[in-house]
A and B are shown apart, each in its own frame.
Chain A
């Protein structure tokens, strides 16, 4: 055993993302000074990325209690029961820091990582979704980053043959320094094939399979747990390079083994590599693992134990196999031409022991390594600006644009635009199960041999979160619920990715506390269990934090995939209904962003109980087949939603609102306010009564606004635009700025 070293310098500790307090805490618990390797292992596992030391106490507010939940947070991915022995497994994860440094590989390996989390459970991935944030597209560097991230996401999913079925992308100057790349994966597994990431049975062999271990990605976990700075480019070696071909073979081999009793536990080698995968598997099983590093296949000569233990080389999995059945398992990997090596064994003491060249080079008790970090409770406070901003007029300086001009500018905003520039680069159909393609409110993947299917959506709300992070998180959940309701789907469970700045800043910590509380509240009231999640902190560049960006991924069940309405109007003469209130609110709205007048005023109101009832009403109308089209009002408000229904359906509309504009806002709030709980439905001419009946039974306001038809989108007495102009604006929002060569 290598002797402990002299106390490390503050600089060395910073490199490992450890504080001095944490170092001394480790020394006290170990009863000795850790050596260099042990310190590196502690730094990695105690990093925010692996330990959730800052967020863990907050996340305990999120409930995973519900009858359909099979596996809640704490494993590779959450699992819910779809009935008839079929389980759905899903999770969302961030890869923000690597994507900021090396967008193609950062995004690609983000997808690769989340795929491994899902097939590590024995589930075949059936869908990928992404949630992306970039700075404004008028900046060439942002266009480059956007193009390259999309290329990376597509590259991995396209090669491995899992469809990327949906997602959401926003552009806002606040993400100039830090782009966000969140990837979600959904998989299916039958109950007997479900795997767990656990080590059991003393004496059982531990195998490392897939890629050789190289020097790439060392300190990836700690790198994700500190701020980016101007020298971040130098951290490029901390970004891994993906090999989707290798992962495809690895996935097929693991799925082939999922039904075998020889395979006792499976975990992917993600952040902090072998150290975290072995430590976490053993910790869950109440056992230990002894690793012999000389057995680990390496990509290069001269790698130190430190590098081997902390390498984040991609496309590797750790298996615990029943003693005596190694050859049977290896035969499967051999067939797929994959390397597999016995690199250790399960031991009784709850320790991670590391042997190199016959000597024990690290020996750490798992309770210390996995859970021994001192909880970090940074101070939090509501910044004074919030009070001032909430009270401000949402549209300071007034609006020189006419309503028509504002309407067309909103439609041409990349945040409201047609997203086909993105999803046509993603294979969204492989698998023959995508029945609702990208571009609708939610994607739908059918379940073979059944009538029902999975509706999947990802949503976030950052501008309202900047004003009120609690409300923002609730609005994100509400939007996801609406997106599912438009397809008649009921939410089954939620996964979340909390993208925030540096929690050492009191304002950020306050945002995080508020957002988690809001998330917990919304999920409780809307009865959605939280089954998995990921926290990405330190999204700062040179001291400036991103806006709080809670992203939620929600999976729901649609009753009959053959009867799904789209967002677009279907036939002239159909009646248009608004479910929900007309009056909304412009605080944090897209109109505000276009005007460049800051993020001001109260965020959209939200009555979670009403939101729940409205979703019930819409779900019922859609499932009954009463609604011929359904679309929710979100960014850009009622006017943008109406224009979208028209453009997608290729039909105009004439509507009239009941509420009158106030003299001060001249109709801007009515048209472009982004209140929650609102949907636009269209029904056959005789179908209005049913809408009114169902809405009344759920005590939800609804109003007949007008009719489908004509070649204009007309809101009587307020504004009207030609359908062709609306379509052109929407088409150009992303495609326009991206038309030229990218750097």
Chain B
């Protein structure tokens, strides 16, 4: 099958406007005849659901949490980018587009990213109108900061909880439509299968997480806004419940999964403290604006430090290696996330890591406190310092923070065209769930922007184009396709419950995470990836032979929920490895050791790999089929990223 991205003709800056005019419209009086299912209530899902309902469509909204307001967008700290140029410092739609394409290491679509930059300005207007309390200056106008290495101040923020405030805005818009009767919310409900009727996505099968009831829901279109799959690694900054099941079950129904190996490992997380660790906590990237990253110059000093024979303060200035400032004098501590993470791994691999595990580097604020004063640093980062102290029992005002990279975001996801529709007609994917805008590496403050762009300003246009061509008829949930999908869900559930093995679901999940982190983490090579493939298959077979799931389906059964999710992770992990294997180049967050410059920087191979890898399911134990969408760059020149 040829992948048609459906990018509109014409100059880059005019594509979206032209497309908005070209798409078919649904008559306002007819919108109420269409039902749309939206799975997930994060920024993309909640904003899409609310906007669809405002337009007049009937919406069913699903989330596994007990309230839509808890979706994991809520945990985003830093901010949201927009090309407002309020600071008069040279920003523009084109610059935001350019930075995002470059930041993604030239592995995303020009047209999508340009549209993202265009609608970014509308997002801020929308959120302010909803009452989102962005940071303001004394004159009462909005404040901005530079974020994630950007050369302009285009990031809008709400203290350290921009994600929560934006999500509460979208949640309030959703609530308003619930009150109007245009949206029905199904909390504590998990999608377990997609239903295709006559080649079109026409509904989903869900499990009620309180009663275990398996139910079918029919609609004219289905939107998946179910987030990323970082929890394949077991330890990540994702929420405990974040999972890939909805997207994965859609993949198994024929939707293509694009660039699964593109994973973002965030450089500033609190290091692992022990085998009991259940998740990792991110410390906002904004800390790198003032903190200096270093490790001891020698392995000997690092060893003494780890054994507790010396303290941090005993290490002379001359014995400290501020390795980011040394290697990248132009960007210093503000290099992009992938570069900062890989360098932390490098110095730890050399044996210069700190903390008792040796898997940490310092982020030191001593100089910033000396320069700006304790009060100024506390005003900027107080809540982050408090959080750090709460978790580690150390005072970051006095001793440097210890940080280490952790899985944070997945750029890959369901393949979508310019309309955000997957290759399955009527099935859309939005936000982190799709692959579309971040290429091989996402820039800071871009995830919130993309989620809200998709939900507020892209899908409401593009979904109308599809629905306008659809008959109004509803498909009954008695249709054989629904019954078959329900049966499929029951079969998987019964199989999981009947194994009655000896190992817990978490035990398998940790084992998978270990394989992924070891072989498909910050650095990858062909040999390791081959090992990973075998190990994952072995583990998956073991899972289906020996997993222990207690209880029954007809109750709140946390183990059963997790078992479904981990069963899917065990398949997705293999696809990630497969994708990492075929991409024999380094780009963004995907670092193949075989493809690096003499200075150990990522080396792209534009001649052979400037494409999107979209995978088609061919059976669990069969090799998936690779489809390639070539990326064309007409408005930017591909250059080797350099932050020296």
A and B are interacting partners: no
Interface residues of B (CB under 8 A from A): none
